Amino acid sequence: MSDGKTIESVMEEVRRFPPSKEFSEKAYIKSMEQYREMYRQSIEDPEGFWGKIASEELHWFSKWTNLHSWDKENAIIKWFEGGKLNVSYNCLDRHLENGRKNKAAIIWQGENEDEVKTYTYQQLHTEVCRFANVLRSLGVKKGDRVSIYLPMIPELAIAMLACARIGAIHSIVFGGFSSESLKDRIADCGSKILITADGNHRGSKFVPLKANADVALEKGTSIEKVIVVNRAGAECPMEPGRDIWWHEEMAKADRSCEPVWCDAEDPLFILYTSGSTGKPKGVVHTTAGYLLGTCITFKYVFDYHENDTYWCTADIGWITGHSYIVYGPLCAGATTLMFEGIPTYPQVDRFWNIIEKFKVNIFYTAPTAIRSLMREGEKWPQSRDLSSLRVLGSVGEPINPEAWMWFHKYVGNERCPIVDTWWQTETGSLMITPLPGAITTKPGSATLPFFGVVPEVVKDDGTKAGVNEGGYLCITRPWPAIMRTVWGQHERFKEIYWTRFPGKYFTGDSARCDEDGYYWIMGRVDDVIKVSGHRIGAAEVESALVSHHAVAEAAIVPVPHPIKGEAIYAFVTLKAGVEETDQLRKELIAHVRREVGPIATPEVIQFCPGMPKTRSGKIMRRILRKVATGTAEELGDTSTLADPGIVDVLIQGSKALHRK
């Protein structure tokens, strides 16, 4: 019975998957005992633990004088104070001297099958130095902001690393965002340079990036120069005196560029997060702590070894791409694969085709991608050779157990450990995650905290929640990669993250901790639905729906109810070939009652061919809420949707349902 102060957990999962002996023997972290001992050291002696790792994993121009300080009252966090280093040097230069000079750093697969480029560490170093000199020639110096609005092409990674080389702060704006979103982000951080492309193709659709950028810059901004990559060969008006071509500037640039040694706490980048309301927040990550966090989590969580080919399917416009396509892998000397296209073009086996083609060993993707590919059936992954895979990873949202099992069975062939990772834009690096050689996994659980991370699930009043009692997920102390502030608004940083539960970082997520100390993320606190006084996390009900054999994907939202206060409105996408019938609707309702209990019974189930998703795969729940409540005329900006046409389909489906 809920006391109104906790979030009820309604999911039960009993399957267990211990690491294989063969995997554990070769892993960095080989056992639960080793994990627990290292975790204990990281909590009891953070100076010794992080000091040793920072010395071993990073190259320092000069060592730090104070490892860590935390002013709780003012939410001021510092790591490795007094230390100097350069991120670009750590990701490139040192690998030229340690035997990786001719190793592939980035393998790029373009939208078209025959578009492949490979950059060795030496070649990438040269390109980064040249572009750093281009930026310098335009007057960019340490601390200046550079906005980057590019598709998933190598120039995106090159531009990031070039900014880091000269101490400039990059602000990447996801290529799917509208001109209005771009304008707002440029204005907030005061960028002087914008890097964009003429355009790019995503599937059969052309994205006019330069045209969008021109609209963003129409009414006067801080931008002095626009550097344009000729990606699509599209017609592209160039404003004299402002717009210049990437390839022309690179042809003139020198091949060597000395790195600028930055303070450990100098900002590395700003990345904007946008909620359903309010102005986007400019999350600021600094140099040393962020780089160390991404490097060490990449190495241990993915158990990366020297000859592995690693592929993260995210877009670099999101934090996952920053941390686990570029900075973490390159700092660790890895081979990282970049993919420009989408998982279903030209057909639905594109992911499996790429894994087979490049013999990918580590594959990191989002639950929404897994579910959409599940919908097409297991024949697609089974028709490709996926035997090179060694580790699978999940990122972006809680993965429901049935998607986890499909991933395990049909992609990993029941032999690859799955690292289901929980973290955020604000955390910088992975926070709660299995270590594949040490930790037994439970489908749907992010499992245990990474080194130095102390999570706590609390009730409304800040007291600790009981075992399996849902509550608010907090972290009780800072870790190296945590964001330091909101750009230009430190009070906002304090207010959003540190005041709800004083002295604790509030994640905004709901979670529970089970009897083994494993964490289960129950969704965003904003997604909690209050039914007859019971507070239910959306993720668990959605998971129950997807556990039905006919369902590929589900999303639930609250709608007002005269008796219950709120009722559950479910949007359900069925697997390919399954017929939408009233009988199936009744069957799904009965299934949820059986799996979860009567309190979580959906009031309405609307079948739909797809969900309103951003190009990164996030479901835009505010749109679903508007559709469910019949207020779809107030939708606002839908330009970031991968398929804006789905909105009309959802609205018509809702109207038809209400007419019945």
For residue 3, is pLDDT > 60? no
In a domain, 254, yes or no: yes
Say yes or no: 147 and 182 in one domain: yes
Q: Residue 318 and residue 336: Cα distance in Å, rounded?
A: 16
* DSSP H helix total and E strand total for the chain: 22, 30
Provide the 8-state DSSP code for 83: -
CATH of the domain at 261: 3.40.50.12780
Q: Residue 637 and residue 159: Cα distance in Å, rounded?
A: 29
For residue 346, whether the previous peptide bond is cis, meaning omega lies within 30 degrees of 0, is yes
Provide the 8-state DSSP code for 616: T
Tally of domains within the chain: 3
Degrees to nearest 5, angle at CA 341 with 653 and 402: 55
Q: Residues 223, 229, 230, 232: what is their CA dihedral angle, to the nearest 10 degrees?
A: -100
Angle between helices 582-595 and 538-546 (to 10 degrees): 120
- Could you list the residue range(s) of the whole structural domain that residue 543 is in? 528-659
Residue 514: HSE in the Cβ half-sphere, 13 Å Cα cutoff? 19
Say yes or no: 647 and 512 in one domain: no
Count CB neighbours of 612 within 10 A: 28
Reported as a single tens digit per residue, the pLDDT across 514-530 is: 999 999 998 888 777 87
In the chain, what percentage of residues exceed pLDDT 90? 77
Say yes or no: 553 and 646 in one domain: yes
In a domain, 258, yes or no: yes
In a domain, 376, yes or no: no
In a domain, 417, yes or no: no
Q: Residue 38 and residue 479: Cα distance in Å, rounded?
A: 15
CATH of the domain at 635: 3.30.300.30
Alpha helices, DSSP H, located in 138-208: 154-166, 179-189
Say yes or no: 484 and 520 in one domain: yes
Token pair in block for residue 206:
């052309």
Say yes or no: 493 and 611 in one domain: no
Encode 408-421: b = buried (16+ Cβ within 10 Å), e = exposed.
Answer: bebbbeeebbbbbb
Average pLDDT of the residues in 91-99 = 96
pLDDT band of 154, cuts 50, 70, 90: very high
- Of 258 and 635, the structure prediction assigns the larger pLDDT to 258
Reported as a single tens digit per residue, the pLDDT across 540-577 is: 888 889 999 999 999 999 998 887 778 899 999 999 99
Residue 92 in contact with residue 106, Cβ under 8 Å?
Answer: no
Q: Residues 375, 376, 382, 383: what is their CA dihedral angle, to the nearest 10 degrees?
A: -170
For residue 164, is pLDDT > 60? yes
Q: Residue 637 and residue 178: Cα distance in Å, rounded?
A: 9
- The three-class DSSP label of residue 558 is strand
Reported as a single tens digit per residue, the pLDDT across 281-330 is: 999 999 999 999 999 999 999 999 999 999 999 999 999 999 999 999 99
In a domain, 497, yes or no: yes
In a domain, 582, yes or no: yes
For residue 276, is pLDDT > 60? no
Residue 92 in contact with residue 130, Cβ under 8 Å?
Answer: no
Token pair in block for residue 375:
């919908």
SS (H, E, C) 402-442: HHHHHHHHHHCCCCCCEEECECCCCCCCCCECCCCCCCCEC
In a domain, 607, yes or no: yes
Residue type, 646: I
Q: % helix / strand / coil in the chain, to the nearest 5? A: 35, 25, 40
Count CB neighbours of 608 within 10 A: 20
Provide the 8-state DSSP code for 600: G
Say yes or no: 507 and 538 in one domain: no
Residue 193 in contact with residue 138, Cβ under 8 Å?
Answer: yes
Token pair in block for residue 195:
């890097």
Say yes or no: 90 and 21 in one domain: no
Say yes or no: 244 and 95 in one domain: yes
CATH of the domain at 473: 2.30.38.10
SS (H, E, C) 601-651: CCCEEEECCCCCEECCCCECHHHHHHHHHCCHHHCCCCCCECCCCHHHHHH
- Residue 341 exposed, middle or buried by CB count within 10 Å (0-12, 13-18, 19+): buried
| CA distance readout (Å), 400 to 145, 238, 608 | 39, 48, 19
Give the DSSP H/E element, type plus range, for residue 23. helix 21-26
Strands, DSSP E only, in 167-224?
169-172, 193-197, 200-202, 205-207
For residue 153, is pLDDT > 60? yes
Say yes or no: 514 and 563 in one domain: no
Give the DSSP H/E element, type plus range, for residue 594. helix 582-595
Token pair in block for residue 83:
């230390």
Say yes or no: 516 and 542 in one domain: no
Residue 357 in contact with residue 114, Cβ under 8 Å?
Answer: no
For residue 275, is pLDDT > 60? no
- Residue 82 exposed, middle or buried by CB count within 10 Å (0-12, 13-18, 19+): middle
Residue 102: HSE in the Cβ half-sphere, 13 Å Cα cutoff? 0
Alpha helices, DSSP H, located in 31-120: 32-44, 46-57, 87-88, 94-97
Domain boundary among 486, 507, 524: 524
Q: Tell whether the torsion through CA atoms of 8, 11, 14 and 20 is positive or negative.
A: negative
pLDDT band of 375, cuts 50, 70, 90: confident
Q: Residue 297 and residue 427: Cα distance in Å, rounded?
A: 12
Q: Residue 404 and residue 614: Cα distance in Å, rounded?
A: 22
Q: Residue 619 and residue 611: Cα distance in Å, rounded?
A: 6
Say yes or no: 507 and 604 in one domain: no
Q: Residue 434 and residue 421: Cα distance in Å, rounded?
A: 7
- The three-class DSSP label of residue 609 is coil
Domain boundary among 296, 314, 338: 296
Comparing CA positions, the residue from 654, 618, 615, 606 lying closest to residue 633 is: 654
Q: Residue 340 and residue 342: Cα distance in Å, rounded?
A: 7
For residue 278, the model assigns a pLDDT of 55
Reported as a single tens digit per residue, the pLDDT across 317-347 is: 999 999 999 999 999 999 999 999 988 888 9
For residue 453, is pLDDT > 90? yes
Reported as a single tens digit per residue, the pLDDT across 466-481 is: 999 999 999 999 999 9
Say yes or no: 518 and 625 in one domain: no
Residue 169 in contact with residue 143, Cβ under 8 Å?
Answer: yes
Average pLDDT of the residues in 75-85 = 98
Give the DSSP H/E element, type plus range, for residue 77. strand 76-81
In a domain, 414, yes or no: no
What residues pair up with 146 in beta bridges, in sequence order? 170, 193
What residues pair up with 282 in beta bridges, in sequence order? 272
Domain boundary among 233, 267, 296: 296
Token pair in block for residue 466:
């009981």
For residue 1, is pLDDT > 50? no
Token pair in block for residue 42:
């990281």
